[in-house]
Structure 1
Amino acid sequence: MNWEVYSDKLVTYDPRSPDFITVNTLFTKGECEVIRGLHTTLPFKKSQLSWGLNKDQKRDTDLYWIQSTEDSLWIFERVLNAIAHINRTHFNYILDGRISAFQLGRYSRNQGYDWHLDLGPNQASRRKLSLSIELSPESDYEGGELQFFRNGIQAIRSRQSLGNMTVFPSWMLHQVTKITRGERWSLVNWIEGPPFK
């Protein structure tokens, strides 16, 4: 799959936090509904993780995996085109130029994902850019904020409007706060390349 310059969407960033980039309305409301609806044909996995001294639950998410098929190829192509432009203009990382299956996630009441990094050992050491796409209108839920750690008293929130994609380096500390009302759907993936040196 060839990467192309993605230029027909507005790309913005928070001047206080230039490390994460937002593509406004990468997907329309109707397209977000189609993507969310894919879960009805996909296998379900409950992802619950805990770590630390108290082994408190740190992640609680309902997951579905979207593979690249004839019906889903348009999602992969649109995201790759946007990532190619963002990487070229903001990060300039060496990337593989391909994308694996998307993680379609649903956070319901009391579900969230505590502070973590996407970069890790083994295969996760190849993660360079992380992306999160909002598939639910903000009016559908409360809580569920994608936040980036800045210091002990401050976290910066991404612009979570329907269809927006937030892109950030996989080494950034981030979280999804617990949902207090409704449910939030998102599409997540990681763009890989040679490990950082």
Structure 2
Amino acid sequence: MHDPAQIERLLARVALRDRVAFRQLYDSCAPQLLGVALRLLRRRDLAEDVLQDAFASVWHRADSYRADASQPMTWLTAVVRNRALDVLRAESVRRTESLDDDDEVEQGVAAIGDERPGPLGLLEQAADALHLRRCIDDIDGPQRQCLALAYYHGLSHSELAAHLGSPIGSVKVWLRRGLDKLRRCMEQLA
């Protein structure tokens, strides 16, 4: 778990270009932030690139962190998440541009093997997304909010408790119950 006060101190020292603090910040936070990037990108090579870009950005923009606006880990997660979303958008544009020439697409698939799902796979993904959305809509407010913050922002139990201003025990219960409801709902729809 990350100590928000410690991360905040490290960010303040990074803003002053303290390389030792930057290394400590990286060592402390990189594993969790890599997990955030991996969940969004689903490719380790892209996630590692995003993490490197995000930390380069942190090095240059650490002075823009405001403790009164967000928890330090939330801010770092947002930096990684925004970089990952930029990569996803760029990949989408690249794919769209590559579809302009069918010959290039056929050659690319034959040469490197396309890992993207076909039409049936896309349909199954869309159906799964609809099922998941229905299940999430059935989950109560605090449980839904905890699940979203944990998944999309990569917040730990203690970070969730601080963010929501709730006891850590309540946060753990909300997460466990929310996940149980989500699992049962998805099993019923399967």
TM-score, L = length of structure 1: 0.26
Larger fraction in helix = 2
TM-score, L = length of structure 2: 0.26
The structure with more radius of gyration: 2
Larger fraction in strand = 1
Of the two structures, which has the highest relative contact order with CA contacts closer than 8 Å and spacing of 6 or more?
1
